[in-house]
Amino acid sequence: MTLHTLFVCKSCSAVLDHEEADDRAEGNQLLLKLLETQKNNSAYSSLNIESVGCLWTCVEKRSCVVSFICPQKYTYHFVDLTEENITELLEFSLLYQESKDGYVLPPKLPGKLRSHLLVRIPPTPEAIAHKMRLP
């Protein structure tokens, strides 16, 4: 089974500067708690939800960020999220996991999630070569 991970920045906050950001960052702490409540939901059981210290997006005045990552798939980085985006993130996670290469067509992004997408990063060439079983 392929490991799909949703990294949630635990130091992002819409109200704190990067230098001040820590576990007081309410925005992502709330996102993390709401997402973690889905761990027992069988629909999302194959999604690994992990908090990380910093995804370094707040320096660009972006807050409350997450990244979907899976080996040999596209990586998605969403910004400026609120608890209102939880359902959309979970819906996206299913589309992402079902996709062979992680590519989800922009019109397929749930709700307003498209406006929160900062970047989609393609798999590394090594991952693509491995996937195609090239030398």
Domain definitions of the chain by residue range: 4-132
The radius of gyration of the chain from alpha carbons, rounded to an integer in Å, stands at: 15
Question: Encoding tokens for residue 49?
Answer: 């939800």
pLDDT of 15? 43
Class of domain 4-132: alpha beta
Orientation angle between helical segments 86-98 and 26-36, nearest 10 degrees: 60
**Closest listed residue to residue 9, CA positions, set 58, 66, 62, 57:** 66
19-71 pLDDT tens trace:
554 444 455 677 888 888 887 788 888 899 998 888 878 766 677 889 999 99
pLDDT of 13? 54
| Beta strand extents in the chain (DSSP E only) | 4-9, 47-52, 66-69, 75-78, 117-121
112-133 pLDDT tens trace:
999 999 999 999 877 555 566 6
Answer whether residue 135 shows pLDDT above 80: no
- Higher local confidence (pLDDT), 18 or 99: 99
Question: Encoding tokens for residue 75?
Answer: 């990586």
- pTM confidence score: 0.80
pLDDT of 127? 57
CA distance 122 to 120: 7
**Closest listed residue to residue 18, CA positions, set 74, 48, 62, 80:** 62
